[in-house]
Amino acid sequence: MTSFDPYILRKEFPYFAHESAVWLDNAANTQKPQAVLDRVLLSLARASTVHRAVYALAEEATLVYEEARSILARFISAPSKDEVIFTNGTTGAINLFARSLYLSGKRAGRQGFRIVTSVLEHHSNYLPWRMLADEPGVEIIIIGHDGLGIDMEALAKALSAPCDLVALSLCSNVSGAWLDSQQAAKLARAAGAVLFLDAAQAVLHRAICLDDSVALPAGGIRVAADALAFSGHKMYGPDGTGALWVRGDLLQDLVPVTFGGEMVRSVDDSAIDLQPPPRRFEAGTPNCSAILGFAEAARWLLQSPRDEFRAHEEGLGRMLHDELSALPGARLYSVPGPLISFTLDGWHTHDLALFLDREGLCLRAGRLCAEPFMRALGVPALVRASLAAYTTREDCMRLVRALTLAKAAIPGRACLARFARDSASMH
């Protein structure tokens, strides 16, 4: 543990002044600091438009919008702000990249399209590629796991033949295992493939550095990739915000898949002159207030002691992992760290989540939007506790005490059967 005090940090988050429930679902959504809420409200109170008008308020809005792009680029140490595309989240970013990359290759006359991904992926980094497999000439290879992480030997084997794309999670939303992106990039490049990383779970816990020429932030990690996506709501920012980063030379070759206002320079009856990237990928009126809140969350993190955040989260995660490992009947499916996935003998996961809710704890239960990984692990569903910088030791111990109570209060078969029947639609 560190000298970092999460109780002092909590004073910046209105949630903890108004709610009593222990928030342990940070892998799904994080609470927001007042600075982010203030930035969103300020933008809503002075509504304007960007890249479209010449009056002063619009010029100001355009400047702060592009400043937000610069902040997000700095947040991941991207070489240029013009490599950052605003999206409505990681899901939107991956779908944009998937369609754009495929269509760009098709227009260039590429025959076939070979994709390698893994069984560990969140549905957002699985379904877009699976849907592409329905297109003529597209082949998808799905590699397995080595227990809780990606099977790197299987990845090397899959990439012993030429490949177009490798799509992997930087950090699993189920097991918390981190990918060795440097090794993955080496294998992908040897196969002639583009490496895409889903960083939705990663950005909360580690400072991401994509540019090898800049100093590594304290507690940060150097990441090798050709493209990467992440979401605002998983890093103390607003819902419905995200970013897609694409390496500059690759971005120039991509074609847009959404068309509308402000993504073109001019249009006539015979030609369309597109804006340069990233604007050609941002058709329509952007969600400016949320995007500015997204950038404010990134700024807030850039100004925070992220190395202390990381040490605090990992220390608590290891402690909680050890406590649950020692609890009779608890089975863990995650590496020691700030994300702990588990089951408890005698309990259906949804029953257990409801029991924990009655004890004042908010945890995720279900397939965690990672059904292929659930199947590979041999479990129908899991309960997941996920920590953040504001999580306290008392939060974790309340979970341990509640699970100890649950162990002594296993529900009847009728209740279990009902939830087993109803859970088919719960992910």
Question: What are the catalytic residues?
Answer: 369
Measured distance CA(287)–CA(388) in Å, rounded: 26
Pairing assessment for the beta strands 208-209 and 221-222 based on DSSP bridges: parallel
Give how far the C-alpha of residue 369 lies from the chain's centroid of Cα atoms, to the nearest Å: 12
φ/ψ (deg, to 5) at 188: -65, -45
Measured distance CA(247)–CA(42) in Å, rounded: 33
154's CB contacts (< 8 A; 6+ apart) are: 143, 144
Where helices occur in 281-363 by DSSP H, the ranges are 288-302, 306-325, 349-358
Least Cα distance to 198 among 221, 181, 216 occurs for 181
What is the CA angle 131-135-136, rounded to 5? 155
Give me the torsion for CA of 221, 27, 174, 204, rounded to 10°. 0
